[in-house]
Amino acid sequence: MLGFSLLNYQKILMKNSENRSILFSSQSFYPSIGGVSTLLLNLSKYLVKLDYKISVIHLEMPSYSNSSDIISYPIREYIIPKNKITKKIYSGYALFKEEIYQNLHGIIEFKYKNIYDVPGYKEYMQLSEIYTYYLIKVLSENNIDIVHFQDYQVMPGISAIPSSVKTVFSLHAPLLESINPSLSKWFLRYWQKADKVILSVPEYTKIANSFGLSENKISIIPPVIDKELMSKKIDLHIKNIIPKDGIIVSCIQRFDSKSGQEQLVKAFSKLVSKIDNVYLLLVGENSFTDSISKLRNNYFQEIKNLVSSLGITNKVIFTGNVDYSELSAIYDLSDIVVMLSKMECFGLAISEAMYKGKPVVATNVGGLAYQIKDLFNGYLVKPGDVNQTFKVLFSLCKSKKLREDLGNNGKERFNRKFDPLKIIPQYHELYQSLFLGNIKKGINYDDIYNLLR
């Protein structure tokens, strides 16, 4: 099946980039909640403004509707039918990628001699072959210049892309010095086939270099937020159940093995004993993984049980998954934004909070530590340190001026380092550099900024 598709796929080698046609290849896409789905939506919307033709290919979500209709953007969407993948394949696939996920985030040790020994690897590769069949079918029916792979869930498809099409790979997981050699060799096998590899934080470069990826193949580009969407004014019903003088602490993060809601809830319980008018919003619930497997089901329930056992049910609001278009209202409602991940690749919610001028409390890990300057635009705490978390939350709750000062500093830091007007041109330059002759030598950034505004 796959061999036939490759044999019948031909494409003339591009000598320029006038077509500007990019296919994003990922596990999921909007309206799947959070993570890669959100950043891909944001990136697509900005690139469309620069006249890129954007297509996406991804796995089907349950009760799925076409995202292009929802977001009203000219993004062509190709959905791989769920009925083409058996439950057995999905179960093994979920098992494999959760094992990789937890190891990359430092939650568990990688205890296998090679990647083939990881439970679910066989099913992961079976799903990859089905995925790649459809990927090549899309390429054969469209004039695609670049396939931009998003994360390791669909990574094997890189091997099937013909040389006439450029490939980019973005890693949306942290690279830790503790990465197992068997795992790094697996990544390297595919990354070497890509024309460019995008990492989100500078410190990941030296780790990628250490296991054999050349520095000239790496670009450091952080993900982008949707400033237009984050500027929307929306009324939420939650607002009516919290007193007007209430101080609202928010955590916008799905529930999984690397998330830190347990640390936050325990610290918040101590905070409630000292400050009466404080409330906690826990925003998020399920991800794509939850739709194909029950592996993560327990995390959400464990936090609900913890809240109940600590006797703070009347102070904690579980919003469930909130549509991305409504997140602006959550930030507007919030006085403090918290993300206490055990490890985090980047943390787009932190960028959003900074743009909204909110002080942030985050753990001193990965991309969170890259975004937050301790005591400048927020506080950095140790993963698992409940007392330290309580102390900084207490300080912020007691001083409105401190909250405003840190929030203003965050806004200024966002404008300098994480504004899409600074980041999207980096994507544009990278894409242009992939074509023969590097034809776009004099990129006019003023024109790009005007188009994006």
Which range has the worst mean pLDDT, 18-32, 64-78, 221-235? 64-78
Mean pLDDT of 427-433: 93
Residue 433: pLDDT above 60?
Answer: yes
**Higher-scoring residue by pLDDT: 66, 437:** 66
pLDDT tens, position by position, 244-268: 889 999 999 999 989 999 999 999 9
Identify the band that residue 435 occupies on the pLDDT scale cut at 50, 70 and 90: confident
CATH H superfamily, domain 2-12+19-224+420-452: Glycogen Phosphorylase B; (3.40.50.2000)
The one-character DSSP state at 30 is T
Q: What pLDDT does residue 290 have?
A: 57
Mean pLDDT of 362-382: 98
N-terminal to C-terminal alpha carbon distance within the chain:
45
Q: What pLDDT does residue 292 have?
A: 54
Q: Is 433 helix (H, G, I), strand (E, B) or coil?
A: helix
Q: Residues 54-70, buried b or exposed e (16+ Cβ, 10 A)?
A: bbbbbbebeebeebbee
Within the chain, which residue ranges are assigned CATH 3.40.50.2000?
2-12+19-224+420-452, 227-417
Rounded to whole angstroms, the Cα distance separating 192 from 140 reads: 24
Across-strand partners of 381? 363
The pTM of this model reads: 0.89
Rounded to whole angstroms, the Cα distance separating 154 from 302 reads: 30
**Higher-scoring residue by pLDDT: 165, 2:** 165
Identify the band that residue 119 occupies on the pLDDT scale cut at 50, 70 and 90: very high
Rounded to whole angstroms, the Cα distance separating 209 from 226 reads: 32
Q: How far lies 328's CA from each of 304, 355, 371, 438, in Å?
A: 25, 10, 19, 39
Q: What pLDDT does residue 286 have?
A: 62
Contact 225, 350 (CB under 8 A): no
Contact 413, 442 (CB under 8 A): no
Residue 352: pLDDT above 80?
Answer: yes
Q: DSSP characters for 35-97?
A: HHHHHHHHHHHHHHHTT-EEEEEEEPPTT---HHHHHTS-EEEEEE-GGGS-HHHHHHHHHHH
Mean pLDDT of 122-137: 96
Q: What pLDDT does residue 447 have?
A: 54
Contact 384, 378 (CB under 8 A): no
Q: What pLDDT does residue 296 have?
A: 61
**Higher-scoring residue by pLDDT: 235, 29:** 29
CATH H superfamily, domain 227-417: Glycogen Phosphorylase B; (3.40.50.2000)
Q: How far lies 51's CA from each of 165, 166, 221, 260, 271, in Å?
A: 19, 18, 20, 40, 50
- The fraction of the chain above a pLDDT of 70, given in percent, is 86
Which of 279, 287, 225 shows the shortest CA–CA distance to 251?
279
Q: What pLDDT does residue 3 have?
A: 39
Q: What pLDDT does residue 132 have?
A: 95
Rounded to whole angstroms, the Cα distance separating 345 from 340 reads: 13
- The fraction of the chain above a pLDDT of 90, given in percent, is 72
**Higher-scoring residue by pLDDT: 63, 445:** 63
Mean pLDDT of 76-96: 93
Residue 9: pLDDT above 70?
Answer: no
pLDDT tens, position by position, 397-412: 999 999 999 999 999 9
Which range has the worst mean pLDDT, 106-110, 160-164, 202-206, 348-352? 160-164
Q: Is 281 helix (H, G, I), strand (E, B) or coil?
A: strand
Percent helix, strand and coil across the chain, each to the nearest 5: 50, 15, 35
Q: Which stretches does DSSP call E strand in 175-224?
A: 196-199, 218-220
Rounded to whole angstroms, the Cα distance separating 313 from 339 reads: 20
**Higher-scoring residue by pLDDT: 70, 303:** 303
Residue 314: pLDDT above 90?
Answer: yes
Across-strand partners of 22? 54, 146
Q: What pLDDT does residue 78 have?
A: 94
Q: What pLDDT does residue 44 have?
A: 94
Q: What pLDDT does residue 2 have?
A: 37
The position carrying tokens 């995202």 is 67
Mean pLDDT of 421-448: 71
